[in-house]
Structure 1
Amino acid sequence: MSNILDKAKEIEEYIINFRRDLHENPELSGQEFKTQEKIMKELDKLGISYKKAGNASLIGVLRGNKPGKTVALRGDIDALPIIEQSGVEFASKNSGVMHACGHDAHASMLLGAAKILSEMKDEIAGEVRFFFQEGEETFTGAKKIIEAGGMDGVDACLGMHGMPELETGYVNIQPGYRMAGCDTIYVKFEGVSGHGSVPHLAKDTIHPACTFVTDLQGIVTKNINAQDPIVISVGKFDGGTKANVVAKYTEIDISMRYFNPQVREIAHEAIKRHAKAIADAYELKVDVRIEESALSLYNDDELAALADNSITKVLGEGKNKTLPRYMGSEDMPYYFQHAKGVYAFMGYRNEEKESLYFPHHEKFKIDEDYMKYGTALHVQFALDFLNK
């Protein structure tokens, strides 16, 4: 068993206390100013230099005593607009805002890793960067750190997320696609308004838009390889103003999830093609606007193998469990555009502690025992990569 886990256990109380403070004082995406201040104070104590990025992000830098490669470790820090019902003693004091996705734990594990690594400079060949990232929930924070130069010169990066599918003490890291990319697609049909008694004198948009919505799933079944998962969901349909007025405009908001970027392009083109064909059939105008939310997350094969070895050192044999891919999305893949990366799912499930809810639930509660494992994995991975 790795001595790194022993080091994490030695500061476990520090990690838990910091996490509870963040949990009591959650801040929404892009507004994490007090969270940023608290992290800066701790980095100052550790002698780790840093610079601000975006609205409330931080890039911490720790250079070892020997030259070498650069590894980046990331922890997100934002909360969600949820009324907390977890029942914990340190529940949110910020009404209507809750750390319901565990980012308070992610930030605290990263801070714990920074604390351990700051005392191991002699063993570090190269540089470790710590990304305390705002705005993961809005898919904006990673881009801000990248714009600030955070990924300049980085050779590898690691991120992690607590999940309830795994018991505390277990981890999932495997190569390939692990989380879906996400796009929001806005379709607007424009016709000619008129009286409901004489629709032939107008150009209705509601009926064609309904035809389009029904037609969308045909794209999934007829244009996309069944081996490549994709989800197309219409979440909003808004058309017309009154029962006896032919609707001049109908707008549709679509969420699309995918793994393979080629499939994404096929779906985009098909959606545009089908929308235009239906608009032409009914003599309408149509506008299709595609907004990228997040990219699909792909774990590098070599790094996944290295991280698997790190898991064994920290937790022992058999602790890396296989999980299916998630259709949920993350902004971690934006870092992976600049350097190879790997993403870990850390187990926090403990039914005795009622730590069993999926993120974004008002009763979300983690098993705090899992944080020492996440902290140790950050440290072990960084050392293993820099010293290989």
Structure 2
Amino acid sequence: MNVIEKAKEFQDYVIKIRRELHEYPELSLQEFETQKRIMRELDAMGISYEKAGTTSVVARINPGKGDQVVALRADIDALPVTEQSGLPFSSKTPGVMHACGHDNHTAMLLGAIKILTGMKDALPGEVRCIFQEAEELCVGAKNVIAEGHLNGVSAILGLHGMSNLPIGFYDINPGYKLAGSDTIHVKFEGISGHCATPHLAKDTIYPACIFVADLQSIVTKNVAPEESIVLSVGKISGGTKANIIAKYSELEISMRYFDPEVRKTVHDAIQRHANALALAHEIKVEVIIEETAISLCNSERVTAIAQKSAEKVYGPDRNIDLFRLMNSEDMSYYFQKTEGTFAMLGYFNDEKESIYSPHHEKHTIDEDMLIYGTALYAQFALDYLNP
């Protein structure tokens, strides 16, 4: 079967679903109507499924058939953004928008299920389709995994629309593709006092400022030049009034990384620098590290299969390696449990004003991407189960 031609047959269906979802976006862990909409479509197709997490849905084609299970994943949540795209099907939910394109991913996976249900006999194993909640909070994948929905899965494919690739092109390549992300809180505690007698107090603002400057030396002096690492101070607070020495100062740092060993090196250096400053200024310090997402690394084996699938869908010479991006994705947690790959699909088309990146208030796509993504999901499942 020519999967891309089959995807074109379902193009109107996929566009319809995408636009309906776009009109009624829901925030992470609040995707209850989205969940119901997905389940209605699965019921109409006669596909078995179960609820997962808070609002996720896991559908199964050929459940229990054969000894191989391949998984396909789409995220379903939206963002707290007020839409300014001007689309006739713009968000009807105030302050909420599908600005990251998860409406597209959901619609494409439903379209792929339509294709695959029509060819169950050509599938010697099970296809597990995960409609995942709360990607934007980086908790949805962990919720799905914790309930055992990845058990038995030997490979998984996820995808995302990208504005830095033109329509008709994609990035499916092995190795690290998306960064891990941590939020680091550094809290200094000193002794307050009058600004006229600073020697009787223990200021925290000055050492906090030194610490901000020190962060860049951590990157340049502790990490190999070929490694990618970002430390950004997004928030700094301290003090209550100009003539009062600040007892407390606090920093919030966003860290992006790829190599887990580099991550540990930087964590250790941050703690070491903070402790040294606290000792030098006779104050206390606390460092709290919160994991947001781990880095995403595409499997060599699964990526090779996905590359062949993509060439069948897109044609030759359409694979552009974007190298490593500093964005994060909780798809990475699935890759701790099984091998997988994350495909990036281009939608940039200035003729259709599909030029804005995800998370932008004017974000939209060239809907031709929906055909490619629908076909890629289905083609990958076929190719993986029919080596």
TM-score, normalised to structure 2, is 0.99
Q: Does 1:130 align with 2:103?
A: no
Distance 1:141 1:365 in 2: 24
Aligned partner of 2:332 in structure 1 is: 333
TM-score, normalised to structure 1, is 0.98
Deviation at 1:120, TM superposition (A): 1.2
Distance 2:203 2:251 in 1: 15
Distance 2:316 2:113 in 1: 26
Deviation at 1:335, TM superposition (A): 0.3
Aligned partner of 1:244 in structure 2 is: 243
Q: Indicate how the Cα distance of structure 1 residues 52 and 66 shifts in structure 2: closer, same or farther if over 3 A, else same.
A: closer
Check conservation: 2:64, 2:126, Cα contact below 8 A.
Answer: no
Distance 2:244 2:61 in 1: 65
Q: Does 1:345 align with 2:370?
A: no
Check conservation: 1:182, 1:295, Cα contact below 8 A.
Answer: yes
Alignment of 1:138-217 (within 5 A): 138-217=137-216
Distance 2:357 2:64 in 1: 42
Q: Does 1:101 align with 2:107?
A: no
Check conservation: 1:64, 1:123, Cα contact below 8 A.
Answer: no
Alignment of 1:81-120 (within 5 A): 81-120=80-119
Deviation at 1:151, TM superposition (A): 0.8
In structure 2, give the amino acid aligned to 1:82: V
Deviation at 1:68, TM superposition (A): 2.8
Deviation at 1:65, TM superposition (A): 8.8
- Residues 9-64 of structure 1: CA distance to partner in whole angstroms, max 9, x if unpaired? 00000000000000000001110000000000001111111111111111111117
Check conservation: 1:68, 1:386, Cα contact below 8 A.
Answer: no
Alignment of 1:71-86 (within 5 A): 71-86=70-85
Distance 2:322 2:201 in 1: 53
Distance 1:38 1:310 in 2: 29
Alignment of 1:248-327 (within 5 A): 248-327=247-326
Deviation at 1:322, TM superposition (A): 2.0
Range 64-73 or range 41-50, more displaced:
64-73
Deviation at 1:307, TM superposition (A): 0.9
Aligned partner of 2:223 in structure 1 is: 224
In structure 2, give the amino acid aligned to 1:303: V
In structure 2, give the amino acid aligned to 1:318: D
Distance 2:309 2:4 in 1: 11
Check conservation: 2:6, 2:115, Cα contact below 8 A.
Answer: yes
Distance 2:307 2:352 in 1: 28
In structure 1, give the amino acid aligned to 2:214: D
Aligned partner of 1:69 in structure 2 is: 68
Distance 2:195 2:273 in 1: 27
Aligned partner of 1:383 in structure 2 is: 382
Aligned partner of 1:235 in structure 2 is: 234
Aligned partner of 1:44 in structure 2 is: 43
Deviation at 1:66, TM superposition (A): 4.8
Distance 2:275 2:63 in 1: 58
Deviation at 1:193, TM superposition (A): 0.8
Secondary structure of the corresponding residue to residue 84 of structure 2: coil
Q: Does 1:22 align with 2:18?
A: no
Root-mean-square deviation (CA), in Å? 1.0
Check conservation: 1:61, 1:129, Cα contact below 8 A.
Answer: yes
Check conservation: 2:69, 2:155, Cα contact below 8 A.
Answer: yes
Secondary structure of the corresponding residue to residue 66 of structure 2: strand
Runs in 1 of length 4+ with deviation above 2 angstroms? Answer: none
Deviation at 1:235, TM superposition (A): 0.3
Q: How high is the sequence identity, in percent, across the aligned residues?
A: 59
Aligned partner of 1:371 in structure 2 is: 370
Secondary structure of the corresponding residue to residue 225 of structure 1: coil
Distance 1:37 1:327 in 2: 33
Distance 1:145 1:201 in 2: 55
Q: Does 1:54 align with 2:48?
A: no
- Residues 136-158 of structure 1: CA distance to partner in whole angstroms, max 9, x if unpaired? 11101101111121111110000
Distance 2:368 2:248 in 1: 54
In structure 2, give the amino acid aligned to 1:25: Y
Deviation at 1:79, TM superposition (A): 0.6
Range 55-64 or range 270-279, more displaced:
55-64
Q: Which runs of 5+ in 1 are unaligned?
A: none
Aligned residues: 387
Q: Which runs of 5+ in 2 are unaligned?
A: none
- Residues 114-164 of structure 1: CA distance to partner in whole angstroms, max 9, x if unpaired? 111111110111111111011111101101111121111110000000001
